[in-house]
Amino acid sequence: MPSSLDFQNNLPMNHGLSGGAVQSEFGALPEWNLTDLYPSMESEAFKNDLAKAEGECKALAEAYRGKLDALARGDNPAETLGAAIKRYEAVEDLLGRLMSFAGLIYAGDTTDPVRAKFYGDTQERLTAASSELLFFGLELNRIEDAVMDKAMGAEPLAHYRPWIEDLRKDKPYQLEDTIEKLFHEKSVTGRSAWNRLFDETIASLRFTVRGEELAIEPTLNKMQDPDESVRKDASDALAKTFKDNLRTFTLITNTLAKDKEISDRWRGFEDVADSRHLANRVEREVVEALVSAVREAYPRLSHRYYTLKSKWFGKDKLDHWDRNAPLPKVEQRTIAWDEAKDTVLSAYSAFSPRMADIAQRFFDENWIDAPTRPGKAPGAFAHPTVPSAHPYVLLNYQGKPRDVMTLAHELGHGVHQVLAAPNGALMAPTPLTLAETASVFGEMLTFRRLLDQTKDKVQRKAMLAAKVEDMLNTVVRQIAFYSFERKVHLERRNGELTADKLCELWMSVQDESLGPSVRLGPGYETFWSYIPHFIHSPFYVYAYAFGDCLVNSLYGIYERSNEGFVDRYFALLSAGGTKHYSELLAPFGLNARDPSFWQIGLSMIERLIGELEAMEKEA
């Protein structure tokens, strides 16, 4: 049977735009229907909305610039200021719709020059247009607290209280209007340009595995092949190509780290990660407690598990290409798309029919793009777009059990985004501290359902091992990533980092986190270079560990007493960005400020490793 790549070469030119499906060895894989946003890149609807957005940004600035404080002190501030924010929100929704369409088009094939130009041109025009709106938040934050509090006492302004109070947390780090505008406009030729260079470089890389030239996703997929020689060859191919491109990745990393340092210095952030903590609306000490708890748990988690796995492989140490390998002598199933779909939907339905109904729409209405294609963005994501539209999910489905978990993960995000959308463009976005809640919970539901249905001891062991590995990748690996980023950004303050120094920093955190039972061989030192989070969202990664530990705690509560849990869970997701995470966790009796909180989540991983050790003794 031909590989999925053979089918991809025959895709129509409009793939990833108007929906449909592509035949593959995994069945008919859906492609998303972006016409829900706009008919095409050349459509009059897109051109008209782009012109409308530019006009609305200027009109809003002409109507309100320099006047918000006066409105807040006027005769009917709740009405007049409320109307201004409502108009601002409508413009934000339109800008988001346009940029989402361009971004999703580009993600469908980042190597297509037509799409790249469309994305770049759209980004430039929207950045220029939205610079007219920068005054809005800045002026709102200059209104005295007492004046604003009084104005927010009545509708329609009261509706926006959560957004206004959240916005005011940024106040200490705001700059003068002209400087903010300069930062904003130069982002197109600064950070955004380097992000795009990284994306296009990664998408264009080719890795030669046994005479076959592959893109990054299918090459990484071979790192999970049952045949160790295939895994090693894939690892060597990755290392060779990464090494050949280290000069570019080193320059991108140095430039973006310096760019961030300049921004942080001007805004007055003390720690290299403080801007991310502010964006996440989480306190530095809470993140430090999480990081400390996970690092202290390395011996009980990753070190302990990889020692066990090395015994299964008959080795004193696992080679780095064995880390995510399937267990030896366990039949590896290729999972068809329809089976993956049914598995996730049935798991969601068992928890809540409402949750399954929302997820079903992603399949029925072509909100998913699943095939692996040359040039397509690697990995997976769920893009919320804007509340006036709906989310989209991107996958690179290759029939592995982990791909089923990825589907469950991204659909969790999608459900969360649908539920939060009624809060509107300003309050639907969720801070990263809670953004991974529904996704990781969706994974857990799917895993538990599959595990309950599996009676064969060998398959059950393989499933438990795969889940433990996923959790280690989500918690231990992401905290190691965070530690690496901290080292990079702190070192960068002393001058540029060489490629060798970046590789050295990478190996130091990997060795610490993976432990003595994993051999990090030649070539692995370059593997920092392809991680997109380091480029697009510095210090994003701890949100995964935050979310996993949080979900482990939530799931434990659900297992012990699920009465009323579903309603409380949907209330959490539906809140979007209207409440602080501490307020949303309170109904579950959870407090992330409590040092013992993180141990609850970490203990679940320990428990699963203990189950595997017990199975080993029984055997």
Q: How many CB atoms lie within 10 A of CB 325?
A: 21
User: Given a cut of 70, is residue 511 above it in pLDDT?
Assistant: yes
User: Which phi and psi angles does 380 have, rounded to 5°?
Assistant: -155, 150
Radius of gyration of the chain (CA): 24
Report whether 549 contacts 290 (CB < 8 A): yes
Per-residue pLDDT reduced to its tens digit, 278-305: 999 899 999 999 999 999 999 999 999 9
Closest Cα partner for 550 from 579, 588, 606?
Answer: 588
Q: Which residues contact 497 (CB under 8 A, 6 or more apart)?
A: 250, 253, 254, 257, 488, 491, 505
User: Which phi and psi angles does 21 have, rounded to 5°?
Assistant: -150, 155
What is the C-alpha to C-alpha distance for residues 441 and 552, in angstroms, rounded to an integer? Answer: 8
Report whether 479 contacts 495 (CB < 8 A): no
Report whether 389 contacts 37 (CB < 8 A): yes
**402 — pLDDT class (breaks 50, 70, 90):** confident
Q: Which two tokens stand for residue 417?
A: 């985004």
**pTM value?**
0.86
Q: Which two tokens stand for residue 448?
A: 């538990």
User: Given a cut of 60, is residue 424 above it in pLDDT?
Assistant: yes
Per-residue pLDDT reduced to its tens digit, 119-157: 999 999 999 999 999 999 999 999 999 999 999 999 999
DSSP bridge pairs for 393:
368, 382
Highest-scoring range by mean pLDDT, 187-191, 521-525, 549-553: 521-525
Among 99-103, 474-478, 516-520, 613-617, the minimum mean pLDDT is found in 613-617
Average pLDDT value over all residues in the chain: 93
Residues in the chain: 619
Residue 559 is predicted with a pLDDT of 86
Q: Which two tokens stand for residue 331?
A: 């039949």
Per-residue pLDDT reduced to its tens digit, 434-467: 888 999 999 999 999 888 888 888 888 999 999 9
User: Given a cut of 80, is residue 106 above it in pLDDT?
Assistant: yes
Per-residue pLDDT reduced to its tens digit, 333-342: 889 999 999 9
What is the C-alpha to C-alpha distance for residues 321 and 230, in angstroms, rounded to an integer? Answer: 10
3-state secondary structure of 518: strand
- DSSP code per residue over 164-194: HHHHGGGGGG---HHHHHHHHHHTTTTHHHH
- The b-or-e profile of 224-260 (16+ CB within 10 A means b, else e) is bbeeeebbbbbbbbbbebbbebbeebbebbbbbbebb
User: Given a cut of 60, is residue 13 above it in pLDDT?
Assistant: no
User: Given a cut of 60, is residue 12 above it in pLDDT?
Assistant: no
The percent helix, strand, coil of the chain (3-state, each to 5) is 70, 5, 25
Torsion of the alpha carbons at 420, 425, 431 and 432, rounded to the nearest 10: 80
Report whether 499 contacts 250 (CB < 8 A): yes
The CA-atom distances, in angstroms, between 341 and each of 267, 346, 436, 466, 582 are: 46, 9, 21, 19, 34
High-pLDDT (> 70) share of the chain, %: 97
Q: What is the mean pLDDT of residues 212-241?
A: 95
Q: Which two tokens stand for residue 568?
A: 């409380």
Residue 556 is predicted with a pLDDT of 87
Per-residue pLDDT reduced to its tens digit, 342-397: 999 999 999 999 999 999 999 999 999 999 998 999 889 999 999 999 999 999 99
DSSP state at residue 133:
G
User: Given a cut of 60, is residue 16 above it in pLDDT?
Assistant: no
User: Which phi and psi angles does 521 have, rounded to 5°?
Assistant: -80, 175
DSSP state at residue 132:
G
H, E, C per residue of 193-249: HHHHHHHHHHHHCCEEECCEEECHHHHHHHHHCCCHHHHHHHHHHHHHHHHHCHHHH
The edge-to-edge listing of strands for the beta sheet with 381-383 is 368-369, 392-394, 381-383
What is the C-alpha to C-alpha distance for residues 137 and 164, in angstroms, rounded to an integer? Answer: 9
Per-residue pLDDT reduced to its tens digit, 24-70: 999 999 999 999 999 999 999 999 999 999 999 999 999 999 999 99
Strands 27-30 and 21-24: antiparallel
Q: Which two tokens stand for residue 598?
A: 């993180």
H, E, C per residue of 281-330: CCCHHHHHHHHHHHHHHHHHCHHHHHHHHHHHCCCCCEEHHHCCCCCCCC
Per-residue pLDDT reduced to its tens digit, 579-601: 999 999 999 999 888 878 899 88
Torsion of the alpha carbons at 91, 93, 95 and 101, rounded to the nearest 10: -160
What is the C-alpha to C-alpha distance for residues 426 and 245, in angstroms, rounded to an integer? Answer: 40
What is the C-alpha to C-alpha distance for residues 465 and 412, in angstroms, rounded to an integer? Answer: 22
Q: Phi-psi category of 477—alpha, beta or left, where left has phi over 0 and alpha has psi -120 to 50? A: alpha
Residue 619 is predicted with a pLDDT of 63
Q: What is the mean pLDDT of residues 510-535?
A: 96
What is the C-alpha to C-alpha distance for residues 414 and 393, in angstroms, rounded to an integer? Answer: 7
